[in-house]
Chain A
Amino acid sequence: RKEVEQDPGPFNVPEGATVAFNCTYSNSASQSFFWYRQDCRKEPKLLMSVYSSGNEDGRFTAQLNRASQYISLLIRDSKLSDSATYLCVVNLETRNQFYFGTGTSLTVIP
């Protein structure tokens, strides 16, 4: 079983819509959580770290639920430029590596 599971989508939403992605992780010792976006053939770019209290950055809100072992990303007022693959990334306390989900593909339609 993969350390991190994501719904690969694709999610096709109209401009201005709100879309949410969830990601589950299997190891309760997971320590750090991140959302990255990756555009085709480019490197993953850090979108936001996910804190226990949740955090918000403009149109983006991330939440962590340790009891249920999932993290979420909410995108409000979707823009065409939000079209990308969103990767959920988790780091274990005992390992010095980051585990990636398979990514969720988002296409925002005019």
Chain B
Amino acid sequence: AAGVIQSPRHLIKEKRETATLKCYPIPRHDTVYWYQQGPGQDPQFLISFYEKMQSDKGSIPDRFSAQQFSDYHSELNMSSLELGDSALYFCASSREGTGDPYFGPGTRLTVL
């Protein structure tokens, strides 16, 4: 069965650079969630989208922005990267009404 796809899987950036993470949800899933997981920590919610509209917002820095496109894929844009942004970034998708969220393999971002 198709799963959530994230790209790139690994990303190395320098401080103050920008990064774009992409997420392709499971087919027919209309909701996308972004999470950040630092070493030894539980996933922290960043932002979610339903039907291409932002539906909830968590602890997402102002330097980050995200959107969901007409094909339901989502992109997380990160600017002015800081060392503390180094983490695993997970995208999850679900289908409204069904609710079970499935996670992608994550993008490991390292900021040097």
- List A residues at the B interface (Cβ < 8 Å): 32, 34, 36, 41-46, 49, 87, 89, 91, 95-103
Contact = CB atoms under 8 A, between A and B. Distances in A.
Nearest to A102: B42
Contacts of B92: 98
B102 interface: yes
Interface string B68-112: 000000000000000000001010100000011111111010000
B90 A96 contact: no
Contacts, number: 53
Contacts of A42: 105-106
A46 B99 CA distance: 12
A89 B56 CA distance: 17
The SS class assigned to the B binding surface is: strand
A103 B108 CA distance: 20
A96 B42 contact: no
A96 B56 contact: yes
A44 B56 contact: no
B34 to A, nearest CB: 10
Contact of A91 (B35, B99, B103): B99
**From B33, B42, B50, residue with most partner A Cβ within 10 Å:** B42
A103 B101 CA distance: 17
